[in-house]
Amino acid sequence: MLVSAFLLPFVYLIKLLLNLTLLLDCFSLDMAREFSVLEEKHSQSQAELVRRCSDFEEKYSQSQTELAQASTALNDANTLNSTLRAQLDSEKVTHETVPCIAVFLLLA
C-alpha cells in the first residue's frame, strides 16, 4: 500500500508528461504549417520582387534609348541651326556687298 501511494504521484506525472508531449506535437505541427505558409509567401514575394525589378530595368532601358534618340535629334537640330545661320550670314554679306559694289561702279 505504501508503495502504491508512493507510485501514484509518479503515474500522474507520467500521464501529465504524455499529455504535454501530445500538446507539444500538436503545437509543433501547427508551427510547421505556419512556417510552410510563411515560406510560400516569402517565395511569392521574391518572385514578385524579381518581376517588378525586371519591369523597372526594362523601363529604364527603354527610357535610356528614348533619351539617346532625343539627344541625337537635338544635336541634329543644333547642327542644322548652325548651318542655316552660316548660310544666312553668308547671304547677308552677299546682299550687303552687292549694293556697295553697284554704288561704287556708278560713282566710278
pLDDT score recorded for residue 22: 81
Phi/psi at 74 (5° precision): -65, -40
Helix (H) or strand (E) holding 44: helix 2-107
pLDDT score recorded for residue 51: 96
> What is the number of alpha carbons within 13 Å of residue 20 lying toward its C-beta?
6
Task: Give how many domains the chain has, as a whole number.
Answer: 1
| Mean pLDDT value of segment 1-11 | 71
Q: How confident is the model at residue 99 (pLDDT cuts 50, 70, 90)?
A: low
Query: What's the N-to-C CA distance of the chain in angstroms?
Result: 157
The range of the structural domain enclosing residue 74 comes to 1-108
